[in-house]
Amino acid sequence: MLDFVQQLVSGIALGCVYGLIALGFVLIYKATEVVNFAQGDLMMLGGFFAFTFIGMLGLNYWLGFAGAVIAMALFGMLAERVVVRPILGYPQFSIIMATIGLGYFLRSIVGMIWGTDDFKIETPFSDGVLRIGSLVLAYDKLSVIAATIILCALLYLFFNRTTLGTAMRASSENMLAAYYMGIPVKRVVSIVWAIAAAVATAAGVLLAPITFIHSNVGLVLGLKAFPAAVLGGFGSIPGAVVGGVLIGVIESMAGFYLPQGWKDVAPYIVLLVVLLLKPEGLFGVHMRKKV
Amino acid sequence: MRFLFKTDYEDDIKLFPHSGYVVSYGILLAFLLIAPFVLSSYLVSQLVFVCIYATVGVGLMILTGFTGQASLGHAAFLAIGAYTAAYLQQFNVPFPVYFLAGGLLTGVVGALVGFPALRLTGIYLVIATISFAFIVEEVLARWESVTHGNEGMRVKTLSLFGQAVPQNGPTFYYLCLAVLILTIVGTLNLLRSPTGRAFVAIRDSETAARSMGVNVSLYKVKSFAISAAITGLAGVLFAHKLSFISPEMFTLQLSIEFIIVILIGGAFSLHGAVLGAIFLVMIDPFLTYLKDDLPGIIAGIAATFGTDSIAAGKINDNVAAIASANGLKGAIYGVIIVLFVLFEPLGLYGRWLKIKLFFQLFPLYKRATFKRQKIYVKSERNR
DSSP string, B242-289: HSEE-GGGSSHHHHHHHHHHHHHH-TTSHHHHHHHHHHHHHHHHHHHH
CB contact under 8 A, A97 and B259: yes
Instruction: Summarize pLDDT for B333-347 with one digit per residue, the tens.
Output: 888 889 988 888 888
Dist CA A263 CA A272 (whole Å) = 15
Query: Cα A38–A40–A46 angle (5° rounding)?
Result: 105
* pLDDT at residue B186 tops 90: yes
Interhelix angle for B95-117 vs B216-242, to 10°?
140
ipTM of the predicted assembly exceeds 0.90: no
CB neighbourhood size of B252 (10 A): 17
Q: Which residues between 127 and 156 in chain B have a beta carbon less than 8 angstroms from any beta carbon of chain A?
A: 127-128, 130-132, 134-135, 138, 141-142
Q: Is B159 helix (H, G, I), strand (E, B) or coil?
A: strand
Q: Which residues between 176 and 205 in chain B have a beta carbon less than 8 angstroms from any beta carbon of chain A?
A: none
Helix runs in B39-143, H state only: 41-60, 74-89, 95-117, 122-142
CB contact under 8 A, A97 and B372: no
Q: Is B164 helix (H, G, I), strand (E, B) or coil?
A: strand
- DSSP string of A51-113, one letter each residue: HIIIIIS---HHHHHHHHHHHHHHHHHHHIIIIIGGGTTS-HHHHHHHHHHHHHHHHHHHHHH
* pLDDT at residue B314 tops 80: no
Instruction: Summarize pLDDT for A136-186 with one digit per residue, the tens.
Output: 777 777 888 888 888 888 888 888 889 988 888 888 777 778 888 888 888
| Contacts made by residues B179-183, CB under 8 angstroms, sequence distance 24+ | B179/B51, B179/B55, B179/B233, B179/B234, B179/B237, B180/B51, B180/B54, B180/B55, B180/B58, B180/B274, B181/B29, B183/B55, B183/B58, B183/B59, B183/B230, B183/B233
Containing B179, the helix (H) or strand (E) segment is helix B170-192
* pLDDT at residue B183 tops 90: yes
Containing B158, the helix (H) or strand (E) segment is strand B158-160
| β partners of residue B164 | B159
* pLDDT at residue B53 tops 90: yes
Dist CA B139 CA A249 (whole Å) = 22
Name the least confident of A123-127, B119-123, B216-220. A123-127
Instruction: Summarize pLDDT for B54-94 with one digit per residue, the tens.
Output: 999 999 999 988 988 888 889 999 999 999 998 888 888 88
The residue among A240, A171, A197 whose CA lies nearest residue A80 is: A197
Containing B153, the helix (H) or strand (E) segment is strand B153-154
* pLDDT at residue B35 tops 70: yes
Chain A partners within 8 Å of B64 (Cβ): 93
Residue B291 pLDDT class (50, 70, 90 cuts): confident
* pLDDT at residue B112 tops 50: yes
Interhelix angle for A185-207 vs A2-32, to 10°?
160
> Considering only alpha carbons, which residue of chain A is nearest residue B70?
A93
Chain A partners within 8 Å of B330 (Cβ): 104-105, 107-108, 111
Residue A289 pLDDT class (50, 70, 90 cuts): very low
CB-CB contact of B294 with B323 (8 Å): yes
Cα dihedral B118, B210, A282, A175, rounded to 10, equals 120
Dist CA A28 CA A37 (whole Å) = 11
Q: Is B6 on the interface with A (CB under 8 A)?
A: no
CB contact under 8 A, A175 and B120: no
Question: Phi and psi (nearest 5°) for B300?
Answer: -65, -45
Per mean pLDDT, which of A81-90, B22-31, B116-125, B138-147 is the most reliable?
A: B22-31
The residues near A94 (Cβ < 8 Å, ≥ 6 apart) are A87, B341, B345
Dist CA B140 CA A21 (whole Å) = 29
Instruction: Say whether pTM exceeds 0.90.
Output: no
Q: Is A146 on the interface with B (CB under 8 A)?
A: no
Percent of chain A beyond pLDDT 70? 96
> Considering only alpha carbons, which residue of chain A is nearest residue B340?
A98
B153-154 vs B163-165, strand pairing mode = unpaired
Residue B378 pLDDT class (50, 70, 90 cuts): very low
Candidates A171, A224, A268: best to mutate against B (most CBs of B within 10 A) is A268
Average pLDDT over residues A121-145: 75
Mean model confidence pLDDT for chain A: 83
Q: What is the reported pLDDT for A284?
A: 65
Residue B142 pLDDT class (50, 70, 90 cuts): confident
Q: Is A1 on the interface with B (CB under 8 A)?
A: no
Dist CA A105 CA A28 (whole Å) = 20
Q: Determine the length of chain A.
A: 291
Dist CA A259 CA B143 (whole Å) = 13
C-alpha B209 chain-centroid distance = 27
Chain A partners within 8 Å of B112 (Cβ): none
